[in-house]
Structure 1
């Protein structure tokens, strides 16, 4: 057997790594299958941004089904199973699903940020057809990058610990071919999506903060709603970034210190890889947690009242006065900043049914 595919870890470490991956695979498949089942039952009523959440669930369950069984079997076997062929397959699947996931997250954040932004984007409604087209482009984009190593630009190879395969980061200094591929991949498929996620979700959090500060009434506990929605934004973006940052850091260390690769203990290279795989478990729990937080009728009623017209909670005479004051010279009623942010984040309340799940993504 090729020494590159022999585990550099002890049999005990391999066994517990296999157990860990088995648990991760189980909860990932269970959680994401629940999201997809729920989405299927109410597909016709899904909002456009929720399609991105469904796409994220597809990538997570796809990774769990196509990759984890092979890595689990290899861990219990104390050696990679299948040699070069399965290594190429594993690297290909990993590239497709990881790029699709991070790009979907970036688009989710960008879409939410745009519809809560400045005119003419403020208050715009995303169409399902538009989002469907964007999702198709995301998959084509990920598929294109995953195929490059198969046609000669870059390459896939085994991880240093011998029980997984990915982009051959250590080949960065070997040739211009490898270095240009890795740098292009890093910039276009890692740094730019990460910067987009950070910028958009922190921007949304700031918009929420300013919008709810402008509301002087405490009747509907606006502060609590603000905290919940902002928390979901932070959880969605930070969960993925936290899971993958250690792996990216170790990969880049390997890239720039390929001659010193032997100095890093195999166990150190294993941990970030295992931690990154846990990202497929987070999103379903975040999705259903937000559903639970926003699914209670009193809270939905408060949000609808607030989003549709925060003056609706005032006495009729005061509400009428506020509406009249809001009219411009042309007779158009202008929505407040808080309403625009709410509509942008959770959808137009007038169009959502009581049974519809509200997902931040």
Structure 2
């Protein structure tokens, strides 16, 4: 099996957690599974974490010292991309790299050894007419089922030549696709030339779900519109063609139809975790495929890349797109609208998620406090998810016992 290199990016927000991860990396190196280790971060982090730096030096790691950007965006996406880009620059195109974040990754030797084995066994692309955007599949942890490219960006594994294509410091995205999450900046980038996705992200509202509906209900209503249905169809093909998920286990593939896709209890039984806040299924594996059972999809069924090309060039495509805009009634879009003869405007123009950082002591203290609160909220949500899972499993056991 090929060796994996590890790229650690970003801040150390929990020294104990970080050093535990480094100790697990040491075990992987001793087993001959890991080659180089790189930590790409800010000058200030290196100065403030001397003990962690000493531990990495003993490990033989390379440390990339960078100046922190003075532009702050949603999710510190430019910060993430800078450490990712320059960290990757120390590797060859043919190297395999596991990218992890210094503050959040779920890292253990046993788990990583299993994932490495799975990745090298199943990373070949499928043979079909979809373009060869990557040379090998990229393994990710999972993502939201109904939001294209909203995949976990904390940990992922791939060949360096492919990972470089995820690097995205293009501020055009903030103007043209105003509701992209940081995760989508990574994973949408290699596919932006597919018209259906570039059009979708001009109008998509992300996780802005009406208060009167939960996530499954809202996206089920979206799915009744052909443009969104086709967008998801294509995205499901993209997942199967270019990605592996860490939870993939079975060679058997379950078929999911329209009713299955929006049935949270059924999806939960298949291993899809339901996000506690938005009540949206989170994809953990790809042991399934979408198979449409409705007549409407018989017009331009998306079963191949050529099918997608045909749909995008059809008259129905623009009709479907405009129908979906009318349904969403989005408040912020990147589609010009006509206000009177000869005059056009851009809804939401100028509402960019950017601010200039001063790097003052007060700003640093404020950001540290915000990050601490975010971690506490995240841990609380995870505890709630774990508790809900235990309750559901117990209820299932009780139901099975009663049936017997």
Shorter-chain TM range is: under 0.3
Query: Where is the helix percentage greater, Structure 1 or Structure 2?
Result: 1
Query: Where is the strand percentage greater, Structure 1 or Structure 2?
Result: 2
Which one has a bigger Cα radius of gyration? 1
What TM-score does the superposition give when structure 1 sets the normalisation length? 0.26
Q: Quick one: higher RCO (CA 8 Å, sep 6+), 1 or 2?
A: 1
